[in-house]
Amino acid sequence: MSKGVKVVLITTWVLAMAGAGYALLNSPFFSVKSVQVLGCARVHPDEVVAASGISEGSNIFSVALGEAAERVAAIPWVQSATCMRRFPSTIEISVVERKPAAVTPHHNSFVVLDSEGWAIEIRNAPGGLPLVTVEPLQDMRVGEQVDSQALRWAISCALAFGPRSNEVAEVHADERSHLTVYMAGGLRAMLGQADSTLEKKVGLLVGIINDIRRNGVEAEYVDLRYEKPVVKTRPGVQPGKASGGVS
């Protein structure tokens, strides 16, 4: 095959591919006719579609899926999002929403936080979520992660109570991440500095609370900052026997 024939063939192939590409990008067959949203419970699908910037009628191949997913993920309630093409004419957006874990005071209202300290929304009341507080008070904006490791430790502490988190009135963390838990019944528990043993300490505290209730003890506080737990009973109350000892 001569060099001239090769040039003609290559040129023909390039032009054919360019023509095919032009046809794909301009064919009404590949126009977006629907945008489907999956995984929404709190966020309205219309808000997701609007945030994505994808409009019906645009060519399905021209949609920048990654950029659209990033825009959807910027919605405060959205943890992550993915976009996929469903040929010939549908874009599918899958959303994973954030799960509310706690609330923290902010001016005259409360900010809802997820487990990683992302501010999800502002509400007027805790709404059944554990209250977490921190020193010093943090400035926060909905849609951003709170820049406070102490606050994230407080959230982790509240979550460590699992289904019994509804018994937690407040988890407070000071500037050194020293945690104090205030139970709904008035019991105060000092856990010390937060570290990898946090879940173990919370489990120990739950066991002590169970013993206190079982033995009819009215406790003022539980101190888990030291090797041996201390349970301080209220004045005038005959102490029972709780895990780790009662003083």
Tell me which architecture the domain covering 102-233 has in CATH: 3-Layer(aba) Sandwich (3.40)
pLDDT tens figures, 31-89: 999 999 999 999 999 999 999 999 999 999 999 999 999 999 999 999 999 999 999 99
Task: Give the pLDDT of residue 2.
Answer: 64
* 3-state secondary structure labels for all residues of the chain: CCHHHHHHHHHHHHHHHHHHHHHHHHCHHHECCEEEEECCCCCCHHHHHHHHCCCCCCEHHHCCHHHHHHHHHCCCCEEEEEEEEECCCEEEEEEEECCCCEEEEECCEEEEECCCCEEEEEECCCCCCCEEEECCCCCCCCCCECCCHHHHHHHHHHHHCHHHHHHEEEEEECCCCEEEEEECCCCEEEEEECCCCHHHHHHHHHHHHHHHHHCCCCEEEEECCCCCCEEEECCCCCCCCCCCCCC
pTM, entire model: 0.81
Q: What is the pLDDT of residues 21-43, one digit of tens each?
A: 545 556 778 899 999 999 999 99
Fold of 30-97: Ubiquitin-like (UB roll) (3.10.20)
CA distance 151 to 202: 17
* Tens place of pLDDT per residue across the chain (247 aa): 665 545 444 555 444 454 445 455 567 788 999 999 999 999 999 999 999 999 999 999 999 999 999 999 999 999 999 999 999 999 999 999 999 999 999 889 999 999 999 999 999 999 999 999 998 777 889 999 998 999 999 999 999 999 999 999 999 999 999 999 999 989 999 999 999 999 999 999 999 999 999 998 889 999 999 989 999 987 755 544 444 444 4
Every domain of the chain and the residues it spans: 30-97, 102-233
Token pair 């990898």: residue: 196
Burial of 242 (0-12, 13-18, 19+ CB in 10 A): buried
163 vs 109, 166, 168, 215, CA distance in Å?
25, 7, 11, 23
